Amino acid sequence: MSKRILIAEDDPAHRELITIYAKNQGYDVVVVTDGVDLLTTFANERFDLIITDLMMANLNGASATELIKIQDNQLPIIALTAYSPNEINLIKYKFTKIFHKPCDYKELFEYVESLIGK
């Protein structure tokens, strides 16, 4: 059975690229476009890993991650951001790892595979 990844990304171009790359790597992917949908989908389905943008409409990725970690502190959550390292210094502890946009999808999914396999 394929590992399941929940991807939360509001930018259509980034969303399409990361989804295609994840599917090509053999992952089962569910995609949402904001933090509220991220929480709703997480509450109703099981995932092996979450990849979330930090800045999204309705609820940002950092706040959504805080709420998810209350329910499942072991679930790996990777953040994607265009913020500089200094700008995310206070929230970086919430995530398994943070990748900066534009990110190297090969590197991202090598890291994903190291966490959950395929």
For the cut 90, the answer to whether the pLDDT of residue 48 exceeds it is: yes
CA atoms within 13 A on the CB side of 25: 24
**Three-state DSSP state, 51:** strand
More confident residue, 74 or 101: 74
| Residue 31 pLDDT level (bands cut at 50, 70, 90) | very high
| Residue 112 pLDDT level (bands cut at 50, 70, 90) | very high
| Residue 90 pLDDT level (bands cut at 50, 70, 90) | low
**The residue count for the chain:** 118
More confident residue, 18 or 86: 18
Please tell me the predicted confidence (pLDDT) of residue 77.
98
| pLDDT tens digits, 53-88 | 999 989 999 999 999 999 999 999 999 988 877 777
**Three-state DSSP state, 26:** coil
CA-angle at 89, arms to 83 and 91, nearest 5°? 90
For the cut 90, the answer to whether the pLDDT of residue 108 exceeds it is: yes
Q: Please, what are the domains in the chain?
A: 4-113 (3.40.50.2300)
Mean pLDDT computed over every residue of the chain: 93
Mean pLDDT across 88-114 = 89
Q: Which residues of 42-69 are buried (b: 16+ CB within 10 A; e: fewer)?
A: beeeebbbbbbbbebeebbbbbbbeebe
